[in-house]
Every structure is written in structure tokens, then in C-alpha cells.
Structure 1
């Protein structure tokens, strides 16, 4: 019988990107599945928002695992965990995070190279050792598990595209199944990354990259498109706009632009 992680792995084809839809509860998981998602992921930022916290190292590993398990139970799609920095600095913590993630049914997780809650990247050598330990733990599991290694320095201002490529290449050599360097400065840089590394590359659809098309990402050699917190922030923008109108103007027109409850009910009832 095919394990869910094998299904997830098979979706990763460079030049034929699929959309990894980041969700934040059972309801959004069911809706996105009904609307055509092939795989889902948690979002650490969106999860933090649900808990009334800011993004960036405010979640515990137990919280992330419990949250992910709720989403896994709500859907029959592969689910990846956005597990920030693996919830610890040392390699063995990253390895233990992999083992625990597999226990709750996740098809894979993503581990970044930022020493949260700061925005400072880990030393290059340590960042590779962390991924090496996580990859070894994944390979020791009795079933498949997809480990994605994130090089966040471009996004955080910690390093440039050349260092991101060097780190992603080293992550792949250390056993990562996919890599991810969010928000490079241009599509040319993204294509350069895809051409340089020997494993599938994830691209984040946020900021300037929301202007790109699926076909353009395919041309760059991308294998996977994740949304991060972009979808959650789109929902929060709707809340913000409606609340601002209500409380500042005393009018309610934005409440009349919502989706029909019947449509939502129908999406949630699909199997």
C-alpha cells in the first residue's frame, strides 16, 4: 500500500509545479481539498494568528504537532508541517522533531536555518548538520517522509543568493529531499537556484511573486509552490477592512461581499 508521503514525493517534478496550499484549521483543510488542492501544509504564521500571537518563534513543538494532527485528520491529502527551525538549535532536536512529525501522520516537514526568535541565520556548518540529522531520522523511519530544508537568509537579509544556493546545495548533499529559499530578488535568481541544486525546489507565492503565473514558475524549473501565510493574510485583510468600515464609518457593506454559507457548507461536506 502506498504511503501518503510517497504520494507527496511523486508530486515534486521540476518544471511541473503543484500548489502546496497552506491551511490553518480543519475547515480550511477541507475547503482547499474540495477546491482541488493536491497537498496541504500548515503555516506557522497562520497558526500563530489563530492563537492570537505574532509570527516568528512563538509556537511550541507540542502546539505545532497537535495543530498538524488536527489537519491530517481532516483530510486524506498529504500534509507537510511548517516546523520553523525544527523547534531547537541542535541537530538532535531537529531529528526528534522529524520522528514526532511522522508519528502524527505528516508526509513531511520543512526546517529553516534561522535561529528563532531572532532573524539571524545559523552558521553554515551548523545549519547543514541540523539538516543531516533530520534527514538521517527521516531515512530511518519505516515509511517515506519528505524533508524540505529552507535557506531563509535572502528573506531575512542574512545573506545573498549565492550563499542561499551554497546552503541549498549542501542541504541536498546532507539528505534533504527538497529545498526552499523564500523570495529571491528576481525570477532569474529563482531559476538560477533551480538549475544549481540536484533536488526539487519550492518557491513561495507571496509579495512580488504573486504577479507570476504557474507557467512562469514552471519555466524557472520550480517543482512546488507554497503559499506560506499569504492566504491567511488575505483572510485577515478581509476582516480588517470589514471591521474598519464598521467601527470607523458605521456602515456594513463589506459584510455583504462574503461567500454564501451554502457554498461553504457544500465544500465542507465533500469527501
Structure 2
């Protein structure tokens, strides 16, 4: 089965000498561009997908629209696809399993699922359900669990590494493969979490993150971009449109534009 092969290939990408770099995509076009530039896999940014479909980020994205978007991305790429499903878009683990099954059918071989400010115990049940869904589909799904302990300051700073490791123990037992610690930049804590969590560590581009070429020294196996790309493009588009509407400026829209023929040729 092609999906099973892709899932195995995606797993192997987390065991290289250097961390897997994932510039996150939000639609088929961005995914195809990212792949064409050499990305070994495609991972979605749930925020970027939500914004592109007209929804706020934060578990508000209708599952049927996300499944359709995942399928459109899978159609245009040949590398493995991992889908960020936020908190699973449901509190019921069985419903999360149904969503995961639909995404696997659409072409996904990996997921991100997060705890946010919710119960880590509930997330463990969701991870178990997602793992079972993958097994029923015959796909060794790569489950990357995001914890927001650092990013949201869920505990005092001096307790964050300990809290992450405590959560990681439960997530690993539930069937997780990777641990995504949003906002982690401290290298000593990074090393401790990578060493003691029993999961493959994922970090994200973040202020004060060490250089990408040294992250492997601290145990990082995967680095993602999250929503930084669509956020940057939003700012650039805002600048261009403001200039067009207020200042009658047209040259900036053409100066750095990729030629139409080059864009069309990517597909």
C-alpha cells in the first residue's frame, strides 16, 4: 500500500544525522512549492489552513473542509504528508479517531495533536484512539504530540521541563512517536527533554532558537515553521494592497513577482 510505504519513509526522516526541516504548508499551491524547493515531507500549519479557508485558528476548522484540503495537498505532492489537527476537533476520542481515519484516507501518514490548555489525560486517550485508527487502516501513523507548557506558561518557568517530561511519559505510553514542545529554546532543557522523554523531539522556529545546524547536538530531530510563513505573507500582501489602494502604487507588485510561467510550471 503506497500510504504505508510513505508512512515508513516519514518515520525514517526522523532518524537522520540532522533534524528534519518542515516548512509548513496551508494549501496545495504552497505544498507543491515547498516540495519543489527540496522539502523531504510536507506538514500543514493548522492556523494557515484555517485562515486560508476563512476561519479563526483554535479548533474552529470544520473537519470536512480540512479533509478536503488534505486531499488536495496529497494530490499534488509525492513526499509524505503530516497534518496538524490541533486538539483533534473533538473531546470524544472516538470522534478524533474518525477524523484521523478520514485524513489517512485523504493521504496523511502523520498527525500533530496538541494539549493546549486541556487535560493531558484526555489527550492520552485521543492519542490511543488515533493510534488504533492508524492500525485499522494498516498505516504506521507518525503521531507527534504538541505540548504548550512553555508557549502558554502553564507552570512556573523552573517547573516547565519537569512538567513536559511528566506529560511525555503519558503521551509515550498512549502511543506517541514525537514530542513537539512549542516555544522551547533553552538548550540545557532541550537536551534533558530529548534525553529523558523517550520521544523524538520537535521544536519550532521561535525567537532565540539556536541555529538550525547545531540543534542536533541538543537532541532535536525535527524543526517546523508553523504559521510563520503565512503570517509573513499576510504582512507582505497587506503592504502591497495598501500601496495599491492608497498610493496608486503598482510597481511593487511586479518588482519581485515570480513569472507566471514559472508558477504554472510547478504544477
TM-score (structure 2 length as normaliser): 0.89
1:223 aligns with 2:221: yes
CA distance in structure 1 between the partners assigned to 2:128 and 2:226 by the alignment: 24
SS of 1:228's partner is coil
> What is the correspondence of 1:24-39 to structure 2 with a 5 Å cutoff?
24-39=26-41
Call closer, same or farther: CA 1:94–1:53 in 2, change over 3 Å: closer
Moved more, 38-47 or 166-175: 166-175
Point out where structure 1 has 5 or more consecutive residues left out of the alignment.
115-120
Counterpart Cα distance in 2 of 1:97 and 1:53? 18
Give me the whole-angstrom Cα distance separating, in 1, the residues matched to 2:152 and 2:68. 28
Matched, 1:254 2:252: yes
Residue 258 of structure 1: how far off its partner (Å): 2.5
Question: Residue 38 and residue 14 in structure 1: after superposition, are their counterparts in 2 closer, same or farther (change >3 A)?
Answer: closer
Aligned to 1:170: 170
Which 10-residue stretch deviates more, 147-156 or 75-84?
147-156
Cα distance between partner residues in 1 of 2:251 and 2:166: 51
The answer (yes or no) to whether the contact 1:146–1:177 under 8 Å persists in 2 is: yes
- TM-score normalised to structure 1 length: 0.87
Unaligned runs of at least 5 residues, structure 2: none
CA–CA distance in structure 1, aligned partners of residues 141 and 169 of structure 2? 20
Alpha-carbon shift at residue 70 of structure 1 (Å)? 0.7
Map 1:80-229; keep pairs closer than 5 Å: 80-114=82-116, 121-159=117-155, 160-209=160-209, 212-229=210-227
Between the aligned partners of 1:237 and 1:218, the Cα distance in structure 2 is 32
Change (3 A) 1:231 1:200: same
The CA deviation at 1:156 is 2.3
The answer to whether the 8 A contact 2:19-2:223 is kept is: yes
| 1:29-52 per-position Cα deviation (integer Å, ceiling 9, x unaligned) | 111111101000121111111122
Equivalent-residue separation in structure 2 for 1:185 and 1:12 (angstroms): 19
Contact preservation (8 Å) 2:168, 2:199: no
Alignment length (residue pairs): 260
Shift of 1:185: 4.9
CA displacement at 1:253 relative to structure 2: 4.5
